[in-house]
């Protein structure tokens, strides 16, 4: 449990808002459960009789139907050849973008940064 005396005023306000929202959500769930129970009783139906997979989400009233959008064009940029490989040769990297996990792990093991990795001939593809 959080020690409330250590929280700031804004943190306490946020916690109070979240608590009120959660209480309202639970009240709504309870009200829905009562309504559902009444409907099930009215039609002599059990929860096991209902196939939840067949229930489709209802559209909001007045919602505009989406028209089919054009399919996205494929990326026309040229593929960049890899420039770097790991010591066992199983993984490669072009040197562009975020470094893959195997590069960051290797740099951590070797105690080098990404720039030193790029300059090291052990990892270059000839």
Q: What is the pLDDT of residues 93-119, one digit of tens each?
A: 999 889 999 999 999 998 999 999 999
The 8-class DSSP code of residue 93 comes to E
pTM equals 0.40
> Is-contact 106 121, C-beta < 8 A?
no
15-67 pLDDT per residue, tens = 999 999 999 999 999 999 999 999 999 999 888 888 877 777 665 665 666 67
């Amino acid at each position: 449990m959080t020690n409330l005396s250590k929280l700031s005023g804004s943190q306490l306000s946020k916690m109070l808002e979240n608590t009120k929202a959660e209480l309202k959500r639970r009240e709504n769930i309870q009200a829905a459960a009562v309504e559902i129970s009444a409907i099930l009783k009215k039609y002599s139906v059990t929860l096991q009789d209902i196939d939840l997979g067949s229930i489709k989400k209802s559209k909001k009233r007045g919602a505009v139907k989406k028209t089919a959008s054009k399919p996205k064009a494929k990326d026309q940029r040229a593929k960049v050849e890899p420039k770097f490989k790991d010591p066992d040769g199983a993984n490669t990297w072009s040197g562009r973008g975020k470094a893959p996990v195997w590069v960051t792990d290797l740099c951590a093991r070797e105690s080098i940064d990404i720039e030193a990795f790029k300059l090291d001939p052990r990892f270059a593809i000839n």
